Each structure stands twice: as C-alpha cells, then as structure tokens.
Amino acid sequence: MIIKKVKLHHLNMTMKNSFVTSFGSIQEKPFLLVEVMDESGNTGWGESTAFHAPWYNEETFQTNLHIIKDFLIPLLLNRNINHPDEVSAIFSPIRKNNMAKAAIEGAVWDLYAKRNSLPLSQALGGTFKNIEVGVSIGLQKSSDELISVVKNYVQAGYKRIKVKIKPGSDISLISALREAFPELPLMADANSAYTLDDIEIFRQLDQYNLLMIEQPLGYDDIVDHSKLQREIKTPICLDESILSLEDVKKAIELGSAKVINIKISRVGGLTEAKKIHDYCLEKNIPVWCGGMLEAGIGRAHNIALASLPNFTFPGDTSSSSRYWEEDIITPEVVAKDGYITVPTGYGIGYEPNLESIKKFTENLWEFKA
Ligand code: OSB
Ligand code: MG
C-alpha cells in the first residue's frame, strides 16, 4: 500500500468526570485523530493519547502535533508499505516520541487490516472473542465516596477494580476498601508517587491481598523497583517505565516486575506492543492492556490488542459511557458483565462517527503526497 494522504483532526472532548491521579487531574482532553489514506481511497484511523500537559510522560498534544506533522508524515507519505511492522523501522530515525509514532502507526494497522479484509484483532494474532475488563478509578474526596463508586462498578460487572493511591492516601484507603469488599480482585496504581524510602508503606500494603501494585516508584526507574520487589510479596506491575521490548527484558532480568501493563501509545505502537506480548508469553509474565482515557478510536485499538492470548488480567478498557456523554465511534464500546465482545468487522471494527468527530473538531490539517 502507498500512503497518499494523511489528515490530522484536532478534537477537544470533555470527560463526564475529572480523573484524578497522583500526578494531577484531567477532564478536558485535546487530542489528535490520524486518518491515513492509500492509493485506492481506503482509510485507516489512529488516536494520539498524549494529554494537554506532560504529567504522565514528556509528550503533550502539542508535541505530538509537531512531531507527526513535521517529521512522521514526511517519512510516510508516498512510501510503499507491505506490512505495518515496517512503520516502526521507518520511524526509527526519530528518537522516542512514542505516542506520536503510535497514533500514526495505529492508523496504518487499521488500513492494512481493512485492505486485507481482516479484523484488526485477527491481523495482530488475537484469539479471544471476548475480553475481560476492569475499571480504573481516580482518587476520590474520601474513602466512603470511593467505596460507593467501587460498589457501582462492581454491580456493573467489572472484573477487577484498580484504584489510584498517593502518599497520605494509601494504607487507610486500601484497608477500608478491603473491609468493604473482602473478595474483590483489587489493585492499586501509584503513578510513580513513591521512593524506596517508603518501603514500610508497601510492606503494610502486602497484607491486603492486592492483585498487584502498579508503578510505585520513579517513572523512569527499573533498578529501584527490583529492590522493592525483593522486599514485598505483592507483584509489581510496571507502566510508565516500560517504553520498549528492551525495557521489558531489563525489568524481567532484574526482577523489577511480575506483570507488565502494555499501553500501545507508551511503547510506540502495535508492533512493539505485540513484541512485548510475545516475549512476556515466552517468559511466563502475564500482561494486561492499560488505558489513557481514550476516545473510541484508541479504545478500539486497545480491544484488538487485548484479544491476544497472554492478556490474562482484565485491562483498563471500560465502556465508552464510563468516560463520555457521546463517543466518536459507532457502535460505542459496551462492557457487559465485565466483558467486551471483540468486533468482527474489518480493521478496528467500529465505524468512526463522522458527525460526532466533526462536532468535537477544533482544527483539521491535510497532507498529500
Ligand atoms: O496510569 O494507567 C494509568 C489514566 C491516565 C493516565 C495514566 C493512567 C490512567 C488510568 C486510566 O489509570 C485508564 C483508563 O481508564 O483509560
Ligand atoms: Mg498506570
């Protein structure tokens, strides 16, 4: 296929509720949709997950726009591509900027799957027909409030609950939750809010039978996590500090994690995500699909990826309605009894809803070969 045209749609969407983590609060979401077109007019869609501010990682909406517009699109236009796995090699002269790369690579994967009359999940080697999903809940005003929010999601059937923690809002919060839900598959995500000086907190958290604890230490650390893992029973799951298969190899070799959160955007695309999946399968390390508060296009990519066989923990991909009054795909994503059906339509398997996309569009750029 030859990429003849790329459109960048700048959308602004507002989440129903703000999402609060140890690094900050998010409610307004500016983001880019990348639409690629081949020589026959087929299209593929991708979504950038960078936030407005560099709080989760160093990328932002604006840096993604710059990198995609000024570096990645020129590398791709008029290129003959046989398989989307080639895209990461084409982008390799550009250092990092993984979210920018993933947005455009994802669009090429969707296009490739459509051209070959395949669901994206199948093009990636997915095997699950339904994926088990959980929900990630931000910091709330009080433990009581958190318990009532958790109750609603448990009643809605979500298979695993993840809650955010931060210094001052950890042991008491987890202990209250455990008391209210003794059997619940529960985990905590610190988003890098702690250091090795806090080791006593993690020793205490060990008694609450958490499925895992996500990214307790530095966002770019692998070494300290291995020291912490040696001191605690609860499995450590790495999110922020895994940017590539190389990072995964180091983390497993050092014993820094027993579980890996795979986010397509954080690792630079579906090809790298799949490599990480395959390597972890070989090493007996379970993985699950993380989330970045995506709109429908990004959510659809996550569902396709999570259909691969080593995605054995429920991921953070919840129903569209958990985030948005109105999503940008048809049908919207629905989790029923904690499962999402992997779509069987070609490509991402959901139709971009052009009307809602237009409604949320602030700006549009078009690049032609
Ligand atoms: O650390 O997994 C995270 C949201 C924004 C940034 C980072 C994270 C999250 C989530 C929510 O936990 C995942 C989702 O529901 O999309
Ligand atoms: Mg996380």
Dist. CA 316 → ligand 1 center (Å)? 7
Residue 301 · residue 47 · CB < 8 Å: yes
pLDDT tens, 220-232? 999 999 999 999 9
CATH label, 3-117+351-368, candidates 3.30.390.10, 3.40.47.10, 1.10.1740.10, 3.90.1150.10: 3.30.390.10
Nearest CA to ligand 1 atom 13: 291
Does 263 participate in catalysis according to the annotation? yes
Single pTM value for the model: 0.98
Length of the chain: 369
- Looking at the DSSP bridge assignments, the partners of residue 20 are 25
- Residue extent(s) of CATH 3.20.20.120 domains in the chain: 122-341
Site to probe by mutation for ligand 1, drawn from 25, 158, 316 as the one with most ligand atoms within 8 Å of Cβ, is: 316
Among 189, 261, 263, 301, the mutation site with the greatest number of ligand 1 atoms within 8 A of its Cβ is: 189
Q: What is the H or E stretch that residue 75 is in?
A: helix 73-76
Contacts of 87 (CB under 8 A, 6+ apart): 76, 81, 101, 104, 105, 108, 269, 271
CB of 106 sitting under 6 A from ligand 1: no
pLDDT of the residue at 132: 97
Domain with CATH 3.30.390.10 in the chain: 3-117+351-368
Summarize pLDDT for 210-262 with one digit per residue, the tens. Answer: 999 999 999 999 999 999 999 999 999 999 999 999 999 999 999 999 999 99
Give pLDDT tens digits for 345-357. 999 999 999 999 9
User: In the prediction, which pLDDT does 273 show?
Assistant: 98
The answer to whether residues 105 and 268 touch, using CB atoms and an 8 Å cutoff, is yes
Which CATH fold would you assign to the domain 122-341? TIM Barrel (3.20.20)
pLDDT tens per residue across span 158-200? 989 999 999 999 999 999 999 999 999 999 999 999 999 999 9
> Tens digits of per-residue pLDDT, 87-138?
999 999 999 999 999 999 999 999 999 999 999 999 999 999 999 999 999 9
Residue 35's nearest CA partner among 74, 6, 67, 77 is 6
The confidence score (pLDDT) of residue 330 equals: 98
